[in-house]
Structure 1
């Protein structure tokens, strides 16, 4: 049976009193006594009468209501429940409206356990926070494409290449995280953005390092006994990275061994054990000098709270007119072992906390060369701290 359609007119709606008016085909106009009006559609699905609202009048016009009604009648003709389908579409739309800012925070939270100090240093999140989220943070992650990413990172793609690379990497992780949550995202968007941005012109440069022969002069100039100078002295003597040194806790030291927790050791992803650092006589003396400054168990506290920052040591070297950076002392030490000693490769690399050798070699190796490293670090400390002119010669291994 064919039902008449389009029985109402715009003029009829304006003059309508309280009650219900049929436009045909199940489309109804209803007006209450308080003057509010709305549209609804009556359909029969699976022998059940269903009634679904189509919006308020006049926000939804007569023309719009008819179009909406026909859309849902077509759904009924396919044997589907229009109300259930609309609810599903609404849930999908809401799910895909997650903003990048929220996704980024959730991705960061889920990865904290993998990061040093649960990511408190901020280095994982900061490339996103500084260079991506100000522009894309309020954009639904499902709407982000390669052009958005290109336009966001283009200003730093060549000028701050390493920072841009990290930001792109973090953004790719966020996109994968969104996909894992069930959101509709373009997992290839970051790769496409790289293609649009082109190859980076900037070449990553190594951290400036003091020549190993000049290290004793600098070390012996650190005579003020401040927290910054003491931290630099111990950094030089142990050849560790600044992070574990800055977060050194007194209970990590037992006798002449400093045990760094495995999670604080960068570049040792396949390591499951802590890293032992043999402390030379000079290093132990520096630790004793630093103990009066200790706060909350940390040997090198910050001025107001927390621990000394990496930037504090860098600024100190800046004030001394030096281009070199604290991290560069690791290179100084490594060059010294190569040029002034006959230290085996595996021992020298282990001193730096590097995992030397291939997977098979590491599987059979059961030593961390502690005793050999103890001798080597004592020689290095002597080289750095003694003023005698023949220190270089005495620093040579004789086999």
Structure 2
């Protein structure tokens, strides 16, 4: 903070003159830290506030003297420093104070409040959703003029088609208008409030999601088991890191958020383990790290991704950040569109989505294998048993799960190890029988008939 000068009187300020050298002379007038009177060589005088905004030194003009007298200059300086303490440029604050538009309110809110978000991508998404859906309708309106009817015009076109996005937009409009109310730019109830307000107009988001997912079924649309190999074969033909991320998600039966935000620091090639650390909301690992065993197929996929490594993300988006949910969903949607039959959930009949791959894995483990239920649940990152059971059951069956995930990968690839073993055994038996027939054919003709009868009896035994 600048050194506080001794407060000067109005008469003393009027007597301040240029020093005679340089373009202008700065005089500290006291009363407010950083408040200066600039006197130019020509005799023109103006008020300036010197302060630091977000760690950078700057100066803000407060008007000419004597048009703006000392008392008013000090009031303006106090208001400007208050804005600076909130991280806001005081010039901008002064410009909008008479009539704050929604677009300016969004900018102000983002500038002062989004520092709480550590994820740069989340900050960008927060602002971009408002700029895409709300600002075109509300941007030029003063915040005090926005009513429920304007909010309805923003949300109605997207509420059913993009329910999750619309719900987020509503919440963000509510936050911006609440900020504007607290800062004195509007009065009255918040028109974007949900409870006892918009809930009387729009269907609840959760109810819409259940309806879109097939009535009361809360599951995400999943692949049918018999469609899995066909879907996986089509996925393998698609290029790009988004497709590889979806392939890795399918092989590991992990949540898309864990795969999208996966970093190389989580991968241990020597131990053949991917460790998802707790604390990331998208991964939904809250208490202790979740270990995912890496099969040979998974490791080969990661090694290919390592060849084009650009940063610590294993599957970085084109602009080097993490993919969004929509990035992986878009890959799945394109596969759906190019398939003549499609890949539909067996219950809801809706197109399968990335998160539904976890349900497909769970169905496979239950219906096509003899693996214990607990092992499949651990693979999905679910808690098993009661709190007491969890306290005693601390093993994560890593190596056993590795075998299970390897078999799951073979299933996706269109092969079945048990069927392969039976086929190999059958093939060996056929070869043995052919060899025996060759030997019989070399016997004297009178002995061939008896030998063939013995062979047929052995085959039918």
Are 1:214 and 2:251 an aligned pair?
no
From 137, 154, 167, the counterpart of 1:165: 167
Count matched residues: 303
Give CA deviations for 1:139-180 in whole Å, capped at 9, x if unaligned.
Answer: 444543333322322233344433322322333344455566
Going from structure 1 to structure 2, the CA distance change for 1:374 and 1:223 (only over 3 Å counts) comes to closer
TM-score w.r.t. the length of structure 1 is: 0.59
Over the aligned positions, Cα root-mean-square deviation in angstroms equals 4.4
Give CA deviations for 1:42-72 in whole Å, capped at 9, x if unaligned.
Answer: xxxxxxxxxxxxxxxxxxxxxxxxxxxxxxx
Deviation at 1:339, TM superposition (A): 2.9
Whole-Å separation in 1 of the counterparts to 2:203 and 2:421: 47
Whole-Å separation in 1 of the counterparts to 2:379 and 2:275: 13
Are 1:278 and 2:282 an aligned pair?
no
Deviation at 1:105, TM superposition (A): 1.9
* Contact 2:251/2:408, CA 8 A, preserved across alignment: yes
Q: What is aligned with 2:198?
A: 194
- Structure 2 runs not aligned, ≥5 long: 1-74, 80-93, 214-218, 343-350, 423-461
* Contact 1:208/1:328, CA 8 A, preserved across alignment: yes
Q: What is aligned with 2:307?
A: 292
Deviation at 1:101, TM superposition (A): 1.5
Q: What is aligned with 2:415?
A: 387
* Contact 1:268/1:354, CA 8 A, preserved across alignment: no
From 130, 133, 139, the counterpart of 2:132: 130
Are 1:256 and 2:258 an aligned pair?
no
Once the two structures are superposed, the pairs formed by residues 1-399 of structure 1 within 5 Å of their partners are 94=97, 97=100, 99=102, 100-102=105-107, 104-106=109-111, 109-113=114-118, 117-120=119-122, 122-178=124-180, 186=188, 189=191, 190-191=193-194, 192-199=196-203, 202=208, 203-205=211-213, 207-224=220-237, 226-228=239-241, 229-254=243-268, 255-266=271-282, 268=284, 271-302=286-317, 305-306=320-321, 309-310=327-328, 313-314=331-332, 316-318=334-336, 320-321=338-339, 322=342, 323-341=351-369, 347-354=375-382, 364=391, 367=394, 369-371=396-398, 373-385=401-413, 387-388=415-416, 390=418
Deviation at 1:109, TM superposition (A): 0.9
Whole-Å separation in 2 of the counterparts to 1:121 and 1:370: 39
* Contact 1:347/1:373, CA 8 A, preserved across alignment: yes
- Structure 1 runs not aligned, ≥5 long: 1-83, 395-399
TM-score w.r.t. the length of structure 2 is: 0.52
SS at 1:240's partner residue? coil
